[in-house]
Structure 1
Amino acid sequence: MKGAEPNSLLQHRLQQHCNYDNYAQKDDLRTALVAEQRGLCCYCMGRIRADGASMRIEHWRCQAMFPDEQLAYANLLGACRGGDGEAAVGHHCDVRKADQELRWNPANPEHAIEARIRYLSDGRIESADDVFNGQLDSVLNLNLARLRSNRKAVLEEVLNWWRSTPPARRNIQAQIVRRTDGADKLAPFSPVAVWFLRQKPRGVAA
């Protein structure tokens, strides 16, 4: 969910001939995005930090096709480096997406991303929405082997907790709180564990 935009971005929009390229205080924007996303990439949920070396500022609606939204804070997200510098097959998130369209914005609560995705035991991410399901692979490349492996490790860790804790079902909410509250930064890929825990009362097999 989006928070308050940096004042420097608001003031920049009030200037004549303003655009994203001549916005000089992008560090303010990085700081705000990382804080509201609690240190996680908007797409893959890997770690991001508020500097140009470890994150990219993503335009959910690309600048090329939606120039009027290039400075709209609701359109701006924090993304990881997405495998830039590697072979194209390893690109993901913003780097892979480029100017392609994406059906749902992960920061827009009305798009209800968490209700549109699920995780498989091998770490794959998928959606029951056919269009979005295709975009998870073709636009974001979120089923890249290393991303699957990271999600699988998180799923296995929380599943081990579930199986080794006899009253686990009574402690689900406490476990969710432990993984979501009281920290400026979430553990990388932690939303995968939270998703799993929220499914357990509805009968996801252990």
Structure 2
Amino acid sequence: MKQIEKSKEPASLLAHRKKIHSNYDNYPEKDELRDYLLKEQGQICCYCMQRISKENMKVEHWQPQSKYPEKQLDYQNLLAACRGNEGEPKHLQHCDTHKSEQEMILNPLDKLIKSIKYRKDGRIYSDDPNIDQDLNKILNLNTQTLVNNRAAIMDDVIQNLTNLKGNKADWAVAHVKRKIQQYETKTAGKYHPYCQVIIYFLNKRFAQELGYF
């Protein structure tokens, strides 16, 4: 999960919110809202970080509409999420589709996401039991497909860095820094899918060389 920095909300959302009897269902400019959310998130899901587009996303209310109707038009509460295997059995669903109307502590806008960790086999976890429950029980982010995707992207980056110097040579810190920067920044308005996995892995492996200790 990558921390999201919210941008200025769409003017149409602000205008609609000021109307009498306005709600999310009767908001007419949802396409504009999707564009705003996709742009600020670099076209990756707010939870699993897979690639999303206007055609295969949903607008997520972090605080559920059913419990917090006053937040249904609050831009700070709106995120772009993948469809999370919508229509599949519950144990195969993930992200907002699995979360449904459940509440959770972990918010992609907060610094709490810095407590999220990744194992080399692609599993996501946290040492904080409450956050770990959000990741596993509410968002179901350790479905096998997501685990495999995260492991594959780590393997690709490892192989790429190894190819630069050869199997028996150490990775150059300069190459590692460039790779981190590559995954921290958008290219043509897009983040790399699962970008935070790579950032975490490289920062952890090279903490001392990168000056973190």
> Could you tell me the TM-score, scaled by structure 2's length?
0.88
What does the per-residue CA deviation read over 1:162-197, in whole Å, with 9 as the maximum and x for residues that have no partner?
444344223222111222335111221122112212
CA distance in 1, matches of 2:123, 2:92: 16
Stretch deviating more after TM superposition (176-185 or 74-83): 176-185
CA distance in 1, matches of 2:162, 2:104: 37
Partner of 2:83: 81
Partner of 2:205: 200
Partner of 2:26: 22
1:203 to partner: Cα distance: 6.0
Name the aligned partner's letter for residue 201 of structure 1: F
Identical counterparts, % of pairs: 40
What does the per-residue CA deviation read over 1:68-103, in whole Å, with 9 as the maximum and x for residues that have no partner?
111110100000001012222211100000111111
Secondary structure of the corresponding residue to residue 202 of structure 1: coil
Match of 2:35 among 19, 31, 46: 31
Specify every segment of 5 or more residues in structure 2 that has no aligned partner in the other structure, as ranges: none
Name the aligned partner's letter for residue 147 of structure 2: R
What does the per-residue CA deviation read over 1:137-175, in whole Å, with 9 as the maximum and x for residues that have no partner?
110010000000000001112222344434422322211
CA distance in 1, matches of 2:50, 2:64: 22
After the TM superposition, which segments of 4 or more aligned residues of structure 1 sit over 3 Å from their partners?
161-167
What does the per-residue CA deviation read over 1:121-151, in whole Å, with 9 as the maximum and x for residues that have no partner?
1100001110110121110010000000000
Counterparts of 1:58-97 in structure 2, within 5 Å, are 58-97=60-99
Partner of 2:124: 125
Partner of 2:194: 189
CA distance in 1, matches of 2:172, 2:73: 46
CA distance in 2, matches of 1:179, 1:62: 31
Matched, 1:104 2:120: no
Secondary structure of the corresponding residue to residue 80 of structure 2: strand
The verdict on how the C-alpha distance between 1:167 and 1:132 changes in structure 2, with shifts beyond 3 A counting, is closer
Specify every segment of 5 or more residues in structure 1 that has no aligned partner in the other structure, as ranges: none
Partner of 2:184: 180
What does the per-residue CA deviation read over 1:40-61, in whole Å, with 9 as the maximum and x for residues that have no partner?
000010111123xx00100001
Name the aligned partner's letter for residue 119 of structure 1: Y
Q: Contact between 2:46 and 2:81, CA under 8 Å: does it hold in 1?
A: yes
Match of 2:10 among 6, 13, 35: 6
Secondary structure of the corresponding residue to residue 58 of structure 1: strand
Secondary structure of the corresponding residue to residue 79 of structure 2: strand
CA distance in 2, matches of 1:10, 1:198: 39
Name the aligned partner's letter for residue 57 of structure 2: M
Aligned residue pair count: 199
Q: Contact between 2:63 and 2:71, CA under 8 Å: does it hold in 1?
A: yes
CA distance in 2, matches of 1:181, 1:122: 25
1:118 to partner: Cα distance: 0.7
Q: Contact between 2:162 and 2:171, CA under 8 Å: does it hold in 1?
A: no
Partner of 1:154: 153
Q: Contact between 2:106 and 2:134, CA under 8 Å: does it hold in 1?
A: no
Name the aligned partner's letter for residue 199 of structure 2: V
Partner of 2:50: 46
